[in-house]
């Protein structure tokens, strides 16, 4: 991972890892989890994985269902696999090309609704954890896993601060 990503991990309390609904992207999770463990050990012992988000989900195929099942089987006992799924949609690419967020471009689209559902799920989980006294989150990072098919890179963006 690049320095920007490592710096984001160093400054974050929790991260959300979006994984494309493809086999190779899910397989890359192991490498990212190992990187998170190294950052925890060497730089930021407070870093936690807040959850895994399935993205670019194509509901017309069984592949995303298989990837979700694989993530649950391999990581479900260690991290939360969010119920929200971000669908694959042309509106996402169109909004990016116009320089607008999906909410500005088409606030009623399935993608915008999916991100709203994710936000609600994340906030509800944190409220529950705060009531239990198990969460004191100050910042989040959003680490993206791409499959080799699309691109071999991982990016980091501020999600909430």
Residue with the larger pLDDT of the pair 144 and 84: 84
- What pLDDT score does 158 carry? 36
Per residue in 27-69, pLDDT (tens digit) is 788 888 888 999 999 999 999 998 999 999 998 889 988 999 9
Instruction: Reply yes or no on whether the pLDDT at 82 is more than 90.
Output: yes
SS (H, E, C) 2-43: CHHHHHHHHHCCEEEEEEECCHHHHHCHHHHHHHHHHHHHHC
Instruction: Reply yes or no on whether the pLDDT at 114 is more than 70.
Output: yes
pTM of the model: 0.75
pLDDT band at 126 (very low <50, low <70, confident <90, very high): confident
Cα–Cα distance, 30 to 58 (Å, whole number): 23
pLDDT band at 136 (very low <50, low <70, confident <90, very high): low
């Amino acid at each position: 991972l690049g320095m920007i990503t490592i710096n984001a991990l160093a400054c974050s309390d929790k991260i959300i890892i979006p994984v494309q609904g493809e086999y190779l992207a899910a397989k890359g999770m192991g490498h990212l989890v190992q990187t998170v463990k190294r950052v925890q050990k060497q730089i930021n012992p407070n870093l936690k994985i807040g959850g895994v988000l399935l993205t670019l989900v194509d509901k017309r195929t069984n592949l995303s269902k298989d990837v979700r099942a694989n993530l649950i089987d391999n990581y479900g006992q260690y991290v939360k696999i969010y119920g929200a799924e971000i669908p694959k949609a042309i509106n996402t690419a169109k909004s990016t090309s116009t320089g607008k967020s999906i909410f500005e471009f088409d606030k009623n689209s399935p993608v915008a609704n999916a991100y709203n559902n994710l936000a609600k799920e994340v906030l509800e989980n944190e409220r529950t954890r705060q009531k239990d006294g198990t969460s004191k989150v100050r910042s989040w990072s959003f680490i993206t896993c791409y499959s080799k098919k699309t691109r071999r890179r991982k990016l980091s963006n501020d999600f909430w601060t």
